[in-house]
Amino acid sequence: MTDLDRLEKNLLQQIEAADSEEALESVRVQALGKKGQVSVQMKSLGKMSPEERKQKGPLLNGLKARIGEAIGARKEQLERAALEARLANERADITLPIRPLPKGKIHPITQVAEEVAVIFADMGFEIREGPDMEDDFHNFTALNFPPDHPARELHDTFFLERQEGADPMVLRTHTSPVQIRTMMSEKPPLRVIIPGRTFRCDSDQTHTPMFHQVEGLVIDKQTHMGHLKGTLNAFIEAFFEVDGVETRLRPHFFPFTEPSAEMDVRYSRVGNELRIGQGDSWMEILGCGMVHPNVLKNCGLDPDEYQGFAFGMGIDRLAMLKYGIPDLRDMFAADARWLEHYGFDALDQPNLATGLSR
């Protein structure tokens, strides 16, 4: 074993034995510092003969490199150990509760109105809206309710205080006046739905003085009642997200449609749960029909040239049926417990690609 070998062995042992960064530093100074053992040897190279230098030079350089590496490796070890030791003291009790964030919710009426809009948008329906306060012409007369007709009485209308020199105003009893506004301001072909607030002077377990309807209107030169049936059936299946929903159209009376119909949907009750689509009972779900010739005429359209259908349904009722909400009145009570339970996450934006609802 040469002196160099001995020196290397000795230094490596010291490096290995260094148990702190300070100790390791002093080994480094002792080996590689200005007056360190390896540095002294390196300096001696200058005094050597070229042959001797040629032989000793690589040996010394190798020694210096290995010692440097060993110090580096040990240093990393010591640093890692120090980090581990520090982290061992940095323990959080991760079972502690987080800070509760208030969770916002979307009201079921909003959610369902958006679901309805998404379905009809896919079938090419535009969305129109109109004012909640209407005159008699738009709410009744133009819709073929003659003055004093008993059908007006069925509507339990809210009237606004009559102002001198102004038209008498009502709170609209249905969204149908927007049909009139649409037909009077736009040219057919028309394909629109009309969601909105509606008002009737009625309040009991199943009626609230304010509720929501969505109206549909198609006017062109060829749409007939078969299209109405197809459109509504497609809507019902898409909305309730079940296949094979059985529906029936039944003749009925509305002043603004002729022929008029109501649509029933099959359902069954399993415990507290309502299953829409199949079963042994029928439930009325909407009113519809072909737009009455008088209504077309009132909007300046020739009923021998233009034709089409209209329908109307309760948004609140659709929400109750789909999501099993038991009482209409709760919709408007703003009870935080109810809103949190029946409400929807802001991220649940209805769309057809993901499905209307989770």
Partner 1 sequence: MKFSLSWLKRHLETQASLETIVETMVRVGLEVEEVENPKERLKAFTVGHVLHAEKHPDADKLKVCRVATIDGEKQIVCGAPNARAGIKVAYAPVGAYVPGIDVTLSKAKIRGVESHGMMCSVRELEMGDDHDGILEVDEAAAVGTPIADIMGLDDPVIDFEVTPNRPDTNGVIGVARDLAATGLGVLTAKPTPKIETGFACPQKIALNFPDEAKNACTVFAGRVVRGVKNGPSPSWLQEALRAVGLRPINALVDITNFLSIDQARPLHVYDVAKLSGTVEARLGKEGESFEALDGKTYKVDDTMCVIADERRVLGLGGVMGGTFSGCTDETTDVFIESAWFDPTRTAKTGRKTGIISDARYRFERGVDPQSCVPGLEQATDLILRFCGGEASEVFVAGEAQAGTKLIEFPPSEVKRLTGMAVSEPEMQRILEALGFIVEKGGVWSVLVPSFRPDIEGKADLVEEIARIVGFDGLPEQSLPRLHVVERPKYSKIQDRVRLARRALASRGFLETVLWSFCSEKQAKLFGGGAAALKIANPIAADLSDMRPTALPGLLEALKRNSDRGRKDLNLFEVGPAYHDTTPTGQQSLAVCVRMSNPPRHWQGSEKPADVFTAKADAMAVLDALGAPVENLQATPTAPDYYHPGRSGQLGLGPKNILARFGELHPFVASQLDLEGTIIMAEIFLEVIPQGKAKATKTKPALEKSDYQAVARDFAFVVPEDMPADKLIKAIKGADKKMIAAVNLFDVYRGKGLEAHEKSLAIEVIFQPKDHTLSDKEIEALAEKVIASAGKTGARLRG
Contact positions with partner 1 (CB under 8 A) in 152-171: 153-154, 158-163, 166, 169, 171
Q: Give whichever of 74 and 152 is closer to partner 1, judged by the CB atom.
A: 152
Q: Does 213 bind partner 1 (CB under 8 A)?
A: no
Indicate which single residue of 42, 259, 274, 283 sits in contact with partner 1 (rule: CB under 8 A). Answer: 259
Task: Give the bridge partners for 197, in sequence order.
Answer: 212
> How many Å apart are CA 75 and CA 19, to the nearest integer?
10
Indicate which single residue of 203, 206, 351, 354 sits in contact with partner 1 (rule: CB under 8 A). Answer: 203
- Applying the rule CB under 8 A, the residues between 303 and 332 that interact with partner 1 are 303, 307, 331-332
Q: Give whichever of 48 and 184 is closer to partner 1, judged by the CB atom.
A: 184
**Of 280, 258, 279, 265, residue with least CA distance to 321:** 265
CA distances from 296 to 2, 161, 231 (A): 115, 30, 21
Q: Does 123 bind partner 1 (CB under 8 A)?
A: yes
CA angle 338, 116, 183 (to 5 degrees): 125
DSSP-assigned letters across all residues of 119-144: HHHHTT-EE----SEEEHHHHTGGGT
Indicate which single residue of 60, 225, 274, 283 sits in contact with partner 1 (rule: CB under 8 A). Answer: 225
Q: Tell me, by CB under 8 A, how many residues bind partner 1.
A: 93
**Of 289, 311, 236, 295, residue with least CA distance to 267:** 236
Q: Give whichever of 209 and 324 is closer to partner 1, judged by the CB atom.
A: 209
Indicate which single residue of 87, 92, 334, 353 sits in contact with partner 1 (rule: CB under 8 A). Answer: 334
Any residues with CB less than 8 A from the CB of 159 and at least 6 apart, and which? 168, 169, 170, 171
Tell me 342's DSSP state: H
Q: Give one word for 300, left, alpha or beta, with left for phi > 0 and alpha for psi -120 to 50.
A: left
Q: Give whichever of 36 and 216 is closer to partner 1, judged by the CB atom.
A: 216
- Applying the rule CB under 8 A, the residues between 339 and 358 that interact with partner 1 are 339-340, 343, 345-346, 349
- Applying the rule CB under 8 A, the residues between 171 and 200 that interact with partner 1 are 171, 181, 191, 197, 199
State in Å, rounded, how far the first CA of the chain is from the last one: 79
Indicate which single residue of 39, 56, 129, 274 sits in contact with partner 1 (rule: CB under 8 A). Answer: 129
What are the φ and ψ backbone dihedral angles of 217, each rounded to 5 degrees?
-145, 130
Indicate which single residue of 107, 274, 283, 357 sits in contact with partner 1 (rule: CB under 8 A). Answer: 107
Per DSSP bridges, beta strands 126-127 and 190-199 are parallel
Residue bearing tokens 């898409």: 238
For residues 39 to 78, the per-residue mask of contacts with partner 1, x marking binding by CB under 8 A and - elsewhere, is ----------------------------------------
What tokens were used for 196?
């909105």
- Applying the rule CB under 8 A, the residues between 263 and 302 that interact with partner 1 are 290, 292-294
Helix (H, G, I), strand (E, B) or coil at 258: strand
Q: How far is the CB of 248 from partner 1 (least distance, A)?
A: 7
Q: How far is the CB of 107 from partner 1 (least distance, A)?
A: 4
Asked if residues 36 and 30 have their Cβ atoms less than 8 Å apart, the reply is yes
Question: Which region among 19-27, 77-85, 246-254, 267-275 touches partner 1 (by CB under 8 A)?
Answer: 246-254
Q: Does 97 bind partner 1 (CB under 8 A)?
A: yes
Indicate which single residue of 139, 182, 213, 260 sits in contact with partner 1 (rule: CB under 8 A). Answer: 260
